Amino acid sequence: MNIGFEERHIEVSGLTTRYLTAGNNDPPLVLLHGVGDSAADWSWVLEDIGTRHRVLALDFPGAGDSAKPRRDYSIDFLTQFLRDFLQILEIPRAVLVGNSLGGLIALRFALSNPEQVPALILVDSMGFGQVVNPILSSLTLPLYGELAIAWCKTPLGAKQRAWSRAALLFANPWEVPAKWLAEQERMGLLPGFLEANLSMLRSQIYVLGQQNLVLESLPQVQMPTLVVWGVNDLVIPYNQAQDAVSRLQQGHLALIPSCGHLPQVEQPKLFADALKQFLPGHL
């Protein structure tokens, strides 16, 4: 993981919450990760983006080094958690940057609280179409996900989980940063992490694909919105990004070549450049 940013812990709605922060220029950028990931995914771009903006990358409950209570990790719960997080830190307005499930949560928050979100950045976001990789939808089957958890809690299973996720999430899995793999392996062995993330996955995906779609709501999005997508995303095809941008009032599209589901990790410079080109004209 890079240096140059600070790790902090706060209490949000009674839950210990970790976040990473860098920079000091407002309005801040709040970075939201996806299922099975954490704030660490943003560490490859925090310093770069932090030279121009204050950035905060949080661990949702159930992820990273935040608390992992046994509960239902619904999209409504995570959206409310984001609201509470911003309130605790006294952040009245923030650019939301959401990857995968984090993108869907950012979008739902922005639709409900447009005055708090001057701009929106959605990165390989869920919620734009039903199609999703069947590897993920199969995990939502009764008992199958629980059996996968039992195996992944073993040291060998944790390693296999990390490499399997690399093959799914990256266009070039043989070039995945060793620190990303190590973090995936570490998290897989944390008590409560796999159960919480299976609950998150099931909140958005079922055997036939994605649910909680927001395509019909996109014309209501008022703020400038950048949609960033890896051209080689195996989780969600990039044609969903093109469809989404066509429905937005102020939609902009940045396709990242030779890149999968995590542009901020696989192509951090191209990802940061896309944000630098978008943000100055829209804040």
Alpha carbon distance 97, 235 (integer Å): 19
What region does 64 belong to: left with phi over 0, alpha with psi -120 to 50, or beta?
Answer: left
Examine residue 228 and state whether it is found in any structural domain, yes or no: yes
Residues 6+ positions from 188 with CB-CB distance below 8 Å: 152, 153, 157, 158, 161, 162, 194
Examine residue 184 and state whether it is found in any structural domain, yes or no: no
Cβ–Cβ contacts within 10 Å for residue 219, how many? 11
Beta bridge partners of 58: 19, 32
Averaged pLDDT in 10-residue chunks for the chain of 283 residues = 76 96 91 97 94 95 97 97 97 97 98 97 97 94 92 95 97 96 97 97 95 95 97 97 96 98 98 95 76
Examine residue 244 and state whether it is found in any structural domain, yes or no: yes
Residue where the block lists tokens 């944790």: 158
Examine residue 192 and state whether it is found in any structural domain, yes or no: no
Beta bridge partners of 16: 11
Examine residue 119 and state whether it is found in any structural domain, yes or no: yes
Domain count for the chain, please give it.
Answer: 1
Q: What is the CATH number of the domain that holds 257?
A: 3.40.50.1820
Beta bridge partners of 120: 96, 225
Q: What integer pLDDT is reported at residue 201 of this predicted model? A: 96
Examine residue 139 and state whether it is found in any structural domain, yes or no: no
Among candidate residues 74, 198, 229, 78, the one with its CA nearest the CA of residue 136? 198
Examine residue 203 and state whether it is found in any structural domain, yes or no: no
Q: Which domain holds residue 77?
A: 6-130+213-281
Q: What integer pLDDT is reported at residue 2 of this predicted model? A: 42
